[in-house]
Structure formats: structure tokens, C-alpha cells
Chain A
Amino acid sequence: MTLQHYLVISAILFTLGIFAVLTRRNAISILMGIELILNSCNLNFAAFSRFVTPPEDISGQIIAIFGIVLAAAEAAVFLAIILAIYREFGSIRPNEVDTLKG
């Protein structure tokens, strides 16, 4: 496995994430798309840390770990907001949540 393999996989993950956010009609699936995006970034950092930076420099891996923590925090807030949406609108489909426009 070379650096290119990892970068291609992470690019695919990133694109799939964006695709999920744009096309999915359910808030939970959107959240999953966002997780894919964040994980593609973590993969990038870990791969760069392995192949690009000198072996004693592990800052890329540290960033990846922080990325995981922030993704978890974001998921928690997102789920809480989905819950609030469900209570107010009785649905978590984004196209039914549209009182604000103009």
C-alpha cells in the first residue's frame, strides 16, 4: 500500500459523504454522510503522518484522534437537534422542515 491508495480511498469516502448529504432524504442519513466526510479527513491525516512526515513526528495521528473526538461531539449535537426537530415537526425529513424561507 502506498500513499496514493490511501488518498484515493479517502477521496472516494469524501465524495460519498458529500453525495449522501446532498441526496439523502433523512436527517440520520445526512449525519452518516457527515461522518464519512470527517473520517475521510482522519484517514488523510493518518496516511500523511505515516508516509510524509518523519517517523518521530506523530502530529498527523494526533490530529486524526482530535478529528474523531470532534466528530463524536458533532454527532451528539446533531442527534439532539434531530430530536428537537422530531418533537416540533413530527418528522426528520429535511424537506418537511421548511417554515423559514424567502
Chain B
Amino acid sequence: MQPLSNIDSLLHFSPEILLVIFAAAVIILDLVVKNRESVAVAHLALVGCLCTLAAVLFIHFSFGNEEPVALFLGMIQLDVFATFFKVLLLLATAATILFSLRSEELDAKLKGEYYALLLAITLGMFLMASSTNLLMIFIALETVSLTSYILAGFLTHSPRSSEAAFKYITYGAVASGTMLFGLSLLFGMAGTGDLTQIGGRLTELLASGEVSSLTVLIAITFVLAGVGYKIASVPFHMWSPDVYEGAPIPITAFLSVASKSAGFALFIRFFYTGFGSTGLMQFVDWPFMLAIVSALTMTVGNLAALPQQNVKRLLAYSSIAHGGYLLMGGVLLTSEGVGAILFYLLVYLFMNLGAFYVVVLVANEMGSETIDGYRGLGSRAPLVALAMVVFLASLTGLPPLAGFFGKWLLFTAVLEQGYYWLALVGLLNSVVSLYYYARIFKVMYFEDAEEETSHVSFSTGTFALLSTFVIPTIFIGFLNIFYTFSNISVSVLPMQ
């Protein structure tokens, strides 16, 4: 596979270029449009997402569907794995733009920057999913991180939002600094920044005894700090409940889905392309380390979610726990395991975004983010409450919803590789998670609101958007195409 030169790469890079163009156009349109209530800016950003999606699919079907193509002299790689994540991320961005349009939290004066930053963060996530060079990995991660710090603190007159941004950047900057230190050690040992060569070089050096396996393990652990902070795995999860609670709800939804997906894309690309060879694993047993991280992550996430009163915070801990389930697939080194991660991320996109959309609606109508705000929702807004039940049941993993099939794939992949203890921990955790999801069901249907409030009605557009999350959450598990899509996507990764 000969890497393409910079000029030749531009056509393959057109989705990213389109994102940049639209981000700039959003800012210019914001300057031109005088009416502050106008939604033109958001609609332009949405058009940007759709155009990019069309470009991603066009590039995929014209070049990227057979052989991986290395672009920009090996800096990034265009393959079906990257395309999978690009589609996923664009769906998440489009959904976030629609949520933001309907959320009453956001300051109308700052809309231009807001949507431009959303497109910019999508660009960063595209690069996270396709980087194959240490420098590119770090730049992509920082693009995403810096933008998400700003978005988390976007409510300029809310102390909670500023505090969220402050905590986010403090944890994030240390984590990415630590990651860069780990990358520098890897660079120094292997003498190259190319991810596709690092594994081979390190194996040779380890076999000849020139490099100690402890050094490689330290470097990998340092890199894991950066990746683990993006996917909010223990012990780098501390930022996420505070940030999720303080940030605007659409951004919380975006961070919990898109940021996590991009983190997993980077994680899989880094570990499987760079460190997936058996030779290396004789010296550095990173899968075992990750298995422990995975078990801790889901346990901590689920146990901490139990006493939560704020629904955003509860969903934050649930999202940490889901990071743990997803990591299970990453330790297996089989294409079934990674395929299960990809499928689960797709399912997670719909069910988690849907749950957050209900949180947006309830925050708009009842002005509350606590569980008490959901009292009597079953009688006041029956359809919205029913949708919430579907999302939460799917997050728990109850059949016949998509979340069940996602978990099923993950657990069978884990069992096939003989990680029985990990599967058991995961299973127990799913049971624990039922408790706190069921608390929301109970409040919605069996407790009456304190003051008598009348029936709440929502617009048709709201129901249309809600059903675009409910329908996939119910049916994805029954459609073969999604399994095929996620399985084809992992075929480009080197597996044993």
C-alpha cells in the first residue's frame, strides 16, 4: 500500500474539507444574518452534515471500500473502519444540532460560534477515527478536546457550565499531556511515528532485549491515560459526571455518544494497528490490563449511578458503565469482539441520544433535571414517557430491544475467548443497572406530580424526532445489515 502524496489525497479528504468549508460558512452567515432568532445558521450546519455524509458515502463507494488507502504520506488512513465511524459521528452531530434547535438553554447571541464549533469537533473526531501516525493522533485528540472544553462551558451565565468547563480542561489537559509523554516514549523507542511500523519495530527490540518490556508497558499506560479519559474509563472518569451535569444538555448528549465513539475508534486503531501482534503481546500483556480496567469501569459507573438524583448525572454514570461494557470487546483481540463494539456503539448512539432528547424535553417543559421532575410524566406526556421507557430498557439490555442484541454480541464474544470472570462481572453489572433505570420508570408511572399540572403537549416535529430514535432502538437488532456493516468495518484491522 503506497501512501498517496498530499495533492493526490485531497479528493479522498473531501468530507473533512467540506466540514471546514461549512464551519467557515456558518460563521460568515452568522455575521450576515441580523435577526438573532433566526434558525438559518443551524440549518446551514445541518446541511453541512448532510453534504459531508454524502461525500463520505461517495468516497467510500468510489475508492475506500476495498483496500485501505493511506493519505498524506501515511498520516491518516481511509478505510471502511474510518467510514463506519464517520457515518456514526455525522448522525450524532446532526442529532445534536436538532436538539440544540429545540433546547431553550442556549444563548441566541452565540449561535454562530456554537454550530461552527460543533462542525469543527466533528472534523477532529473524523481525524481521530482515521489517524495512523502519532503526531496526527495527538492533533486530532487535541482538536476534539479543546473544542469540547469550550462547548461544555458554553452557557456563559451559568456557574455550573463554567465549572464543568474548568474541571474538564484541568483533567483533560493533564490526561492529554500524559498521553503525549507516552507517545514521545513510543516514538523514541521505535524511532518512527508511523503506527503501522511501531508494533513491528518494538517487537524486534523487545526480542533482542534492547528495550525493556517495562518501558513499553509504561508508555502504553501513559497513552491509555489520554484514550481512557476520552472514553471515560476508570481511573480517568472523574471529570465526566461533573461535566455531563454542568454542560448544556445537547452537548452532554454529544459528548456521551460522539466523544466516546471517537475515543473507541482511536483506542481500537491504536491498539490493534500498533500493538495487535502476538509477538509483542508475549512481552507486554496489555489486554489483561484492559480487562481489569473494563471490569472496574462498569462496576464504578453502575454503583455510583445508584444514588443519583440528577438525571443528567445518572446518565453520565450509566455512560461510564457502558464504556466498561464496550471495553470488554476491546480486550479480546478477535474481530467478533471489535465488531460487537462497533455494533453496540451504533445502538448506543440511538438509545442514549434518545434518552437525552427526553431530558431536553423535560428540562424545557418542567424546568427540571432532577428525577422529581419526571413525576407523573406517564400521565402528563404518555408518548414521551413511553419513549423514555424504550430507551432506558434498551440501555439496561432488555430483550427485544437493540441494547439487548448489542450486549448479547459483546457477551458471546467475551465468553468465546474464555474470559468467564469478565462476562460474570458484566452480567452482574447489568442487573445493578436495572435498579437505577427502573427508578425512573417508577417515578414516571407510579408517583404523582406534587402540584397538579395539566397534560403537556409537544409539537409534531418533536414526535417525529423522537420516533427517529425510538424506531431504530426497537428494530436495529432484527436487521442484518447493521451486523454486516459493523463486521465489514473491522475487516481492515489486523487480527490474529
Query: Which residues in B have their C-beta under 8 angstroms from that of A48?
Result: 184, 187-188, 191
A89-B185 Cα distance, complex, nearest whole Å:
40
Identify which of A45, A62, A80, A97 contacts B163 (C-beta below 8 A): A97
Residue pair A97, B166 in contact (C-beta under 8 Å): yes
Is B138 part of the binding interface, using a Cβ–Cβ cutoff of 8 Å?
yes
Q: Does B246 contact A (CB under 8 A)?
A: yes
Contact B146 A88 (CB under 8 A): no
Residue of A nearest to B185 (CB): A44
Instruction: Kindly supply a per-residue 1/0 record for chain A positions 10-27, scoring 1 wherever the CB is within 8 Å of any chain B CB and 0 otherwise.
Output: 000010011001000001
- A53–B197 Cα distance when bound, in Å, is 14
Q: Which residues of A contact B199 (CB under 8 A)?
A: none
| Residue pair B160, A52 in contact (C-beta under 8 Å) | no
**B418 within 8 Å of A by Cβ?**
no
Over the window 36-57 of chain A, the binary record of Cβ atoms lying under 8 Å from chain B Cβ atoms (1 yes, 0 no) is 0110110011011000110000
**Does A1 lie at the interface of the complex (its beta carbon under 8 Å from any beta carbon of B)?**
no
Contact between A53 and B166, CB atoms less than 8 A apart: no
Give the shortest distance, in Å, between A100 (CB) and chain B (any CB). Answer: 4
Q: Please indicate the chain A residues that have their CB under 8 angstroms from the CB of B191 in the complex.
A: 48, 52-53
Do A70 and B138 form a contact, CB below 8 Å, given A45-B184, A60-B187?
yes
B245 proximal to A (CB < 8 A)? yes
Expressed in whole angstroms, the minimum distance between the Cβ of B335 and any Cβ of chain A is 32
B-chain residues with CB within 8 Å of residue A85 when the two chains form the complex: 162-163, 166
Contact A67 B245, CB 8 Å, known A48-B188, A81-B165, A88-B162: no
Contacts between chains A and B (CB distance < 8 A), count: 122
Within 8 A of A (CB), among B155-170: 156-160, 162-167, 169-170
Question: Interface readout for B122-145 with A: 1 if CB under 8 Å, 0 if not?
Answer: 000000000000110011001000
The answer to whether B160 and A99 touch across the interface, beta carbons within 8 angstroms, is: yes
The answer to whether A89 and B170 touch (CB under 8 A), given A70-B138, A102-B241, is: no
Name the residue of chain A whose CB is nearest to the CB of B313: A102
Asked if A84 is at the interface of the complex by the 8 Å CB criterion, the answer is yes
Chain A CB within 8 A of B492 CB:
no
The reply to whether A89 and B159 form a contact with Cβ atoms under 8 Å apart is yes
Instruction: Determine if A100 and B160 form an interchain contact, defined as CB atoms under 8 angstroms apart.
Output: yes
- CB nearest neighbor in A for B158: A88
Which B residues are in CB contact (< 8 Å) with A27?
166
In A84-101, which residues have CB < 8 Å from any B CB?
Answer: 84-85, 87-89, 94, 97-101
Flag if A100 contacts B184 (CB, 8 Å): no
Is B150 part of the binding interface, using a Cβ–Cβ cutoff of 8 Å?
yes
Q: Please, which residue of chain A has its CB at the minimum distance from the CB of B310?
A: A102
Question: Which of A38, A59, A80, A94 lies in contact with B177, CB distance below 8 A?
Answer: A38
Complex Cα distance, B220 from A50, in Å, reads: 23
Residue from A41, A52, A88, A99 in contact with B181 in the complex, judged by beta carbons closer than 8 Å: A41
Select B193's contact among A63, A67, A73, A89, beta carbons within 8 Å. Answer: A63
**In the assembled complex, B308 has its CB within 8 A of some CB on chain A:** yes
Q: In whole angstroms, what is the CA distance A44 to B156 when docked?
A: 38
Q: Are A74 and B166 in contact (CB under 8 A)?
A: no
Tell me whether A81 and B162 are in contact (CB under 8 A). yes
> In the complex, A21 Cα to B146 Cα: how many Å?
18
Which residue from A41, A62, A100 sits with its C-beta under 8 Å from B245? A100
Closest to A101 in B: B242
Whether A66 touches B139, Cβ cut-off 8 Å, given contacts A30-B170, A74-B146, A100-B246, is: yes
- Our pick among A17, A53, A66, A81 for the contact of B169 (Cβ within 8 Å) is A81
Known: A30-B170, A38-B177, A59-B135. A44 touches B308 (CB 8 A): no
CB<8 Å pairs between A and B, sample of 7: A21-B174, A63-B135, A63-B187, A81-B166, A84-B162, A87-B162, A102-B309
- The chain B residues found within 8 Å of chain A, CB to CB, are 134-135, 138-139, 142, 146, 149-150, 153, 156-160, 162-167, 169-170, 173-174, 177-178, 180-181, 183-185, 187-188, 191-193, 241-242, 245-246, 307-310, 313
Q: Which residues of A contact B (CB under 8 A)?
A: 14, 17-18, 21, 27, 30, 34, 37-38, 40-41, 44-45, 47-48, 52-53, 59-60, 62-63, 66-67, 70, 73-74, 77-78, 80-82, 84-85, 87-89, 94, 97-102
